[in-house]
Structure 1
C-alpha cells in the first residue's frame, strides 16, 4: 500500500472522517500515549550527548528540538563547539533551528515527517527472531551515523534499507507503531507539562535556596563552593515525590520568580551579572547514565552548617572568576577551612567519585583509558592529611595544585602540558619529603567514617562504574585519595571538563588524569613496605611504562617505612585481607563469589536456588583467561538474569577485566593488552550504564551454563551458548528483558534507577 494511503487509513482509524469528527473525539496525548513509547523503545539509544544525531527523545523538548548532523563527540576538532545542552542552551524549536537542528516531527509538504518515514523503513525490514544481525549493519562506537535531513531520506533508505528505526533491534508493537504514526499525522501535538514540586518539595526548595543565597561574604563563598560541588547532582528531598529530582542552576532571578537561567559552559565560569542559586526540576525520562543522585533533608543541612559555619574563620575578600580561578580551586577557596571541604567530600565520597568515573558525559574513553579495568579506592583520614592539618605545608602546596585545560590553544598544548606536569611533580616531591618526616602511615591513616569509605571501580572500555564496597578479586592496583587528589580529580574531570571542547582541551584533561592516577597509586604505595614499592611499580608500568615513569613522574619514596605489619612475601595481598577484616562493617558489598575462601561461595542471605547458582558462577570468577578461554569471547559488561522459576530472579553483572601491561600512554592501548591475564567479575546488581549483552538462564540450568562456558574453545562453542541462553537484539522479548534490568534497579536501588543505554549492545 502506498505510504500516503497508509497515513490516510491511520487518520480515519484514529480520528474518523472529517465529516464525522467532533470536538469530543479524543486525540493522541503526548504525555499519556507517546512519551511512554519513546521511553520504552527509543531513549535506550536516544538520550544524553551520544544520542544518534543528537536526537534526544526523553522529553517533548528533545523531540521537538530534532536532530543535528554535528556530533558532540569529535576527538579531532581544533575549535571548541557551541554547546547544545537540552533545557540549557536553547528552548523551543525556533531557537534550536538557529543552532542547526532540523525537525523530525514536521511533515514536509506532501512528505510525511522524517520520524514517520524512519519508523516505516524499520517496519519494512523485520529481524529474524533471536538471530544475529546482518553483517552490514555497524553498531556501537564504530557506527558513523548518517543523520539524513528530510530531503535526504530517500537516498538514505536506498543505501540502508535495513536501518530504519528502531535501529537493529526488535521493533515497535503494532499498537505502538500505529499510535506514533497517527500522532505524527496529527501534527505531533504536545501536551506535556513541566514537573511541579509537591508542597513538601516546594518548602524545602525555598529553605535550601535561602541557605545557599544567604547574605554575607562567608555565606557567598560557601554557597559558591557548594554549588560547584553539587551542580551535577539529581537532588531528591525527604518526603519528596517518587521520580522527582532537582538540579542546582544559576539564575538572574531570585527565589519566588521564574528561573532565568545563566547558561555558562562551566559551573565556575563568570556569570556576568548578579545571580542566585536556584533549584529547578529535572525534566524528561530518567536515564541511568546521567542520574547521579544526592539527598537533601534536615540532617544534611545541619551537617553542612556544622562543617562550614562553626569556628571563627572569616572571608576578607571574595575571589573572582576566570581561568586562574578555574585552574586552582585550592587558591579560589583557600579561605574556607580545608578540613570542612575535605570532610564534606568524604561524607559523600560515592557521589563525588561517581561524578568523575561514571560521569554525565556518556562517552568517556578519553579519560577511562588511563585507568585499570578494576581497582579499589580508599581515602586518607582528614586528621592524617597534612594538607588539612599543616598550614605551612598547605601554603607551599597550594600554588602547585593548578590544573590544565583552561587554555585550548592547539599550538600551546605541549608547552602547557610541560608546565602543569612540572608543577604537579614539584608538588609530589614536596608531598613525598613532607610525609617522609611524618609518622609512618598506619591503619588509622585510612578514613572509616561511613560506607563510602571503600569503593570499587570497574572500567568497561569507554565507560566505568563505581560501587560501594570491595567487589571482585584483589586488584592489581589500589588508589588512596587525599584531599588534594580528590578535589583535583573532581575539578579536572567534572567541573572543568567541557564535552564540547577541542582536541587541546581534551588532550590536556587526559594527560593530567594520567598524573592523578599515578598520584593515587603512589599514595597507596606508602602503605607498603619500602623495599616492595619499586617492584610494584615495575609490575604496574611494564612494556614502556618505565620510560613514562622516567619522563613524567616524580621519583617515589622507597626508603621511609610503613607503619603496617604485612607479610613480606605478598604485602599487597596481605593488606587487602587485613583491610577486608578490619573494615568488614563498612564494606557495603561482601563478595564471596569472587573471593571464595572456603567451601561456600555464595551470599549467605540468598535463597537456596540462588545460592546454588552462585556456587556454580563462582567457578567463572577471578580465573585468568589462560585457563578460561571463554573470557576472550566476552564483551566488557554482560548481564546475567537468573530466574528461580518461582517468580523471582536475580540480575548479575559479568564484567570482563582486561589486563594491561600499563595504562600510561594516550595511544596504542590494544598493544598493551595482556589477554591471557583477563578475568571475569561476577556480582549481583547492574554495574554498568551500557549492557553489552544479556543471558537469561533458569537457576536450575546455571551449572550447565557454567560447564559450557568453561568448555568453550572457539567461536562456535560460544555461539552455541548464545543461541541457547542469549538475548540478542532480535529476540522477540528483547525489550522485556532489557527493561527488566531497570525494573531490577527500581526494586533494589529505586532512587538511583533509570533506563539503561543499549548503544553498546553487541551483535553476538
Structure 2
C-alpha cells in the first residue's frame, strides 16, 4: 500500500474513533532498521551521516557535511554520535536536520525516502541499471526536506533502502504507522549484569588509583584501549564497554569529555570510566578486548612489579602526541610492549581494520596479503639496552600534529630524516648484536602469528597463517608496533585536512618498509637484496633512493634456510615450528599431500573443500576468472544434512610496489593476482555472495576454471549469484553475520553492504 493511502486509511480510522496501537520503537522499529538499514547507515561512512543503529542516531538525523574529504584545507568539527553533542537540539545547532519530523505539510523525510524506494521496485535478481551509481565514493545529495521533490525527480531510484531489495509489506506498514504517530524514539541503555558490574568497578578502581605512577600507566592504557569494545569474559555476549574520560566519578552517570584525539588535553579533572556501548554492534567497528580478574592481575604485575619512579607527569600538546616514547619514557618499555603483545591481534586490527570505517590511509600502503610476526622482547634492543633506547627515542617522533598545508613538504622531510637516522642507528646497533634466530620471534600465545588481507580501502586481520606463502612478511618490534598504533589510531584524525592525512600516509609507508627490512634480517644476507628488489619494482626503486635507508646485507642470520628460495624455506619452517600457535590451519590454500581439506569433516564437506582448492593460490594468468571477481566474495554452500558453510574468496591483487600515495592502478600486476579461499567470513564488507548446493560445487569450480571473459562470469553470476535485487537478499546477507555469531559470538556484528557490487 502506498504511504499516502496508508496514511489516509489511518486518518479514516482515527475519524471513526479507532486508534492505532502505539508502535514500539525498541521492539518494532529498531529491529527493522537493524535488518534493512544498519548495513549502510552506521559509523562515519553512513550516507549523509545518518546513523540508524540507535534511537540517538535516528533522532540526530542527517547532514550535508562530508566526513571523508581528502581535499579539504581545514580540519572540520567532529560529529561523533554520543560524544560531540547530546540531544536533538545540540545536533540541530551543528547543522544536522531531522529525518523524522513532518515539516511544511509534508511527511517526514524518512517517510518520503521509503515511499520513493517502494515506488521503484527492482526487477527480481537482475542487475541494477547501469546509470545507478552505487560506489562507496559516490556523491550523496543529502536533500533537506524542502529539496526532496527535486531530488526525487533527478533520482527516481534514490529511495530507501537504496539499490537493494526493500521492505516487506509488514515492515513498511510498521514504519509508516510509527512515522505517522510522530516517530517517537526510546533509548535502549545497556545495564551490566552483577558480574560485569564487579569487573567494571575493579577496572575503574585500578585506573583511577592515586599516585603519579598510577596516573601515568592509566593514561597509557587509556590511549591504547579507547577504541576497544571491551567485554567481560563470561559476561553477556552482547554487552560491550568503551573506556572514556568522564567528568564524573564511578557510581555516577558517565559525562564523557569529547576531545578530538584521546591524547588531547581533557581541560578539566576527569575519571576513567567504562561506558556501556549503545546501539547496534556493527562488525566493521567491533574490535574486541577481554576483561577479567586474571587480566587485571597480569596488568598490575606488568606495570608495577618493578620499582620505577615518575619525576613529573607529562603534559599534553603536539610534541607529547608526536612522541609517545618520550611521553611515557618512565614506564618500563618491557611492560608497554608485553601489554601489546598479549593481545597483538587487537592492536593490529585497530590500524589495519581501521578506526574510521574506511581505512584507505592505511590500506593504500600495504600488500593485499601478508603475514605479521613480532620480535621477542628479549631480542629487542629498545627493550634491553637503555643506552640505545636513549639514543633512539628522540628519533621516533611522528608527523601529523601540525597541518599547515604550506609547510607539508618541510614537515614530511623533517620526520623522514629523523626516521632514517633512527634506521641507521638501529642497523648499526643490531650489527653488533647476536645474529637473529628462531628465538628472535615472539611465541608467547596465539596472537604471535597474524594474517592480513586487504580489500582496497578495508582490510581484515586473523590469528594464524592463512593463505599461500605471501610475497612479503613483517617483523614488528616495539618501536614499529607502537609507532604504527599511534600514527594510524591515536593521532589520526578522520576530520583532519589534506596535510594531516598526507603526512599520516607518507609516514606509514616508512613504517611498512621498516617492518619488511626487519624481517629480511632473518634471511641469509646474500638473499636480501633480491627480495627487496622484488618488493620495490619499477617506481619502487625511485622511492628506495628518495626516502628509504640502505638495508643490512652483511650481518649474518642464525637461521638455516637451505634451497634457492630462503623466504619459502623460512615460511615452511615457521609453519612447522609454530604449529601450536597457528590458530587456523589452511590446507585449502597450502595443500601439500593431496588432501586439501580440514581434518574432521564429513565426506561431502571434504569433497567441497577438495574441489575449491583447485581455485586457490593460482595466478590469474592461468585462472582468468580472477580478473572478473571482486575483492571479497562470499560462497555459501548448503549441505544435504541441512547445515551450511561460508567460504571467503579473497582476491589478492598484485602490485609492482605499494610505495606511493597515488596511481595505484598503474602498479597493478593483474596476471599475478590470486585467490585465498577460507571457511570463514574474512571481511566486514562483502562484495558479492554466491549460494549453491554442495553437489553443485564441482560444476561451479569447473565453470570458474573455464571463464575467460566477463560474459563467462556473467553466466556464473546469473546461475548462483545473490544480487542486490534478489527477493531473499537480506536473508542471505545477514546469514553471513549469523555464521560469525555461531563460530565467534564475541566477534559478531552486522556486516556492511556499502561495497556490495552490481554483478
By the TM > 0.5 criterion, same fold?
yes
Q: 2:601 aligns with which of 583, 606, 630?
A: 606
Q: 2:17 aligns with which of 20, 28, 31?
A: 20
Q: 2:468 aligns with which of 460, 470, 473?
A: 473
Q: Provide the residue aligned with 1:163 in structure 2.
A: 158
Contact 1:10 / 1:178 at 8 angstroms: preserved in 2? no
Is the counterpart of residue 356 in structure 1 residue 337 in structure 2?
no
Q: 2:666 aligns with which of 671, 675, 680?
A: 671
Q: Provide the residue aligned with 2:418 in structure 1.
A: 423
Q: Distance in 1 between matches of 2:39 and 2:460?
A: 18
Q: Provide the residue aligned with 2:647 in structure 1.
A: 652
Is the counterpart of residue 632 in structure 1 residue 627 in structure 2?
yes
For residues 180-205 of structure 1, give each alpha carbon's deviation from its aligned partner in whole angstroms, at most 9, with x where no partner exists. 01100100011333112122222221
Contact 1:245 / 1:281 at 8 angstroms: preserved in 2? yes
Contact 1:11 / 1:182 at 8 angstroms: preserved in 2? no
Is the counterpart of residue 8 in structure 1 residue 8 in structure 2?
yes
Equivalent positions of 1:373-452 (< 5 A) are 373-452=368-447
Is the counterpart of residue 523 in structure 1 residue 499 in structure 2?
no
For residues 229-275 of structure 1, give each alpha carbon's deviation from its aligned partner in whole angstroms, at most 9, with x where no partner exists. 00011111134223110000001111111222110011100011111
Q: Distance in 2 between matches of 1:11 and 1:333?
A: 65
Aligned partner of residue 336 in structure 1, secondary structure: coil
Aligned partner of residue 581 in structure 2, secondary structure: coil
Q: 1:588 aligns with which of 583, 591, 597?
A: 583
Distance change >3 Å, CA 2–CA 26, structure 1 → 2: closer
Deviation at residue 676 of structure 1 after TM alignment: 0.3
Contact 2:6 / 2:176 at 8 angstroms: preserved in 1? no
Q: 2:187 aligns with which of 179, 185, 192?
A: 192
Q: Distance in 2 between matches of 1:218 and 1:89?
A: 31
Equivalent positions of 1:127-142 (< 5 A) are 127-142=122-137
Q: 1:32 aligns with which of 20, 27, 34?
A: 27
Higher mean displacement: 382-391 or 361-370: 361-370
Q: Distance in 2 between matches of 1:367 and 1:695?
A: 29
Q: Distance in 2 between matches of 1:194 and 1:83?
A: 24
Q: Distance in 2 between matches of 1:26 and 1:10?
A: 11
Aligned partner of residue 277 in structure 1, secondary structure: strand
Q: Provide the residue aligned with 2:87 in structure 1.
A: 92
Q: Provide the residue aligned with 1:572 in structure 2.
A: 567
Contact 2:48 / 2:62 at 8 angstroms: preserved in 1? yes
Distance change >3 Å, CA 626–CA 20, structure 1 → 2: same
Q: Provide the residue aligned with 1:53 in structure 2.
A: 48
Distance change >3 Å, CA 2–CA 614, structure 1 → 2: closer
Aligned partner of residue 377 in structure 1, secondary structure: strand
Deviation at residue 306 of structure 1 after TM alignment: 1.1
For residues 692-717 of structure 1, give each alpha carbon's deviation from its aligned partner in whole angstroms, at most 9, with x where no partner exists. 00000111110110000000011111
Q: Distance in 1 between matches of 2:42 and 2:253?
A: 27
Q: Distance in 2 between matches of 1:297 and 1:417?
A: 42
Q: Provide the residue aligned with 2:250 in structure 1.
A: 255
For residues 198-219 of structure 1, give each alpha carbon's deviation from its aligned partner in whole angstroms, at most 9, with x where no partner exists. 2222222111111000000010
Q: Distance in 1 between matches of 2:267 and 2:439?
A: 46
Is the counterpart of residue 211 in structure 1 residue 202 in structure 2?
no
Deviation at residue 19 of structure 1 after TM alignment: 5.1
For residues 572-631 of structure 1, give each alpha carbon's deviation from its aligned partner in whole angstroms, at most 9, with x where no partner exists. 000000000000010001110001111100001222211110000000000000000000
Is the counterpart of residue 150 in structure 1 residue 170 in structure 2?
no
Contact 1:370 / 1:664 at 8 angstroms: preserved in 2? yes
Q: Distance in 1 between matches of 2:136 and 2:431?
A: 46
Aligned partner of residue 573 in structure 2, secondary structure: helix
Equivalent positions of 1:470-509 (< 5 A) are 470-509=465-504
Is the counterpart of residue 238 in structure 1 residue 233 in structure 2?
yes
Q: Provide the residue aligned with 1:77 in structure 2.
A: 72
Higher mean displacement: 230-239 or 531-540: 230-239
Aligned partner of residue 373 in structure 2, secondary structure: strand
Stretches of structure 1 that go unaligned for 5 or more consecutive residues are none
Q: 1:454 aligns with which of 449, 466, 474?
A: 449
Contact 1:654 / 1:683 at 8 angstroms: preserved in 2? yes
Q: Provide the residue aligned with 2:268 in structure 1.
A: 273
Across the aligned residues of Structure 1 and Structure 2, the Cα RMSD in angstroms comes to 1.1
Deviation at residue 564 of structure 1 after TM alignment: 0.4
How many residue pairs are counted as aligned between the two chains?
759
Contact 2:646 / 2:739 at 8 angstroms: preserved in 1? yes
Aligned partner of residue 295 in structure 1, secondary structure: strand
Q: Distance in 2 between matches of 1:411 and 1:600?
A: 60
Q: 2:282 aligns with which of 287, 291, 306?
A: 287
Equivalent positions of 1:714-725 (< 5 A) are 714-725=709-720
For residues 434-467 of structure 1, give each alpha carbon's deviation from its aligned partner in whole angstroms, at most 9, with x where no partner exists. 0000010000000000000000000000000000
Q: 2:732 aligns with which of 728, 732, 737?
A: 737
Stretches of structure 2 that go unaligned for 5 or more consecutive residues are none
Aligned partner of residue 14 in structure 2, secondary structure: coil
Contact 1:637 / 1:655 at 8 angstroms: preserved in 2? yes
For residues 57-87 of structure 1, give each alpha carbon's deviation from its aligned partner in whole angstroms, at most 9, with x where no partner exists. 0001000000011110000000001000000
Q: Distance in 2 between matches of 1:11 and 1:81?
A: 45
Q: Distance in 1 between matches of 2:11 and 2:181?
A: 8
Aligned partner of residue 43 in structure 1, secondary structure: coil
Contact 1:119 / 1:164 at 8 angstroms: preserved in 2? yes
Q: Distance in 2 between matches of 1:606 and 1:465?
A: 26
Contact 2:188 / 2:279 at 8 angstroms: preserved in 1? no
Contact 2:2 / 2:115 at 8 angstroms: preserved in 1? no
Aligned partner of residue 260 in structure 2, secondary structure: coil
Deviation at residue 18 of structure 1 after TM alignment: 4.6
Deviation at residue 143 of structure 1 after TM alignment: 1.5
Contact 1:376 / 1:470 at 8 angstroms: preserved in 2? yes
Q: Distance in 2 between matches of 1:308 and 1:5?
A: 66
Q: Provide the residue aligned with 1:728 in structure 2.
A: 723
Contact 2:363 / 2:454 at 8 angstroms: preserved in 1? yes
For residues 667-725 of structure 1, give each alpha carbon's deviation from its aligned partner in whole angstroms, at most 9, with x where no partner exists. 10000000000000000111111000000011111011000000001111100000110
Q: Distance in 2 between matches of 1:148 and 1:142?
A: 18
Q: Distance in 2 between matches of 1:285 and 1:141?
A: 21
Q: Provide the residue aligned with 1:754 in structure 2.
A: 749
Aligned partner of residue 738 in structure 2, secondary structure: helix
Q: Distance in 1 between matches of 2:5 and 2:689?
A: 40
Contact 1:11 / 1:185 at 8 angstroms: preserved in 2? no
Is the counterpart of residue 533 in structure 1 residue 525 in structure 2?
no
Aligned partner of residue 636 in structure 2, secondary structure: strand
Q: TM-score, normalised by structure 2?
A: 0.99
Q: Distance in 1 between matches of 2:11 and 2:200?
A: 45
Q: Provide the residue aligned with 1:680 in structure 2.
A: 675
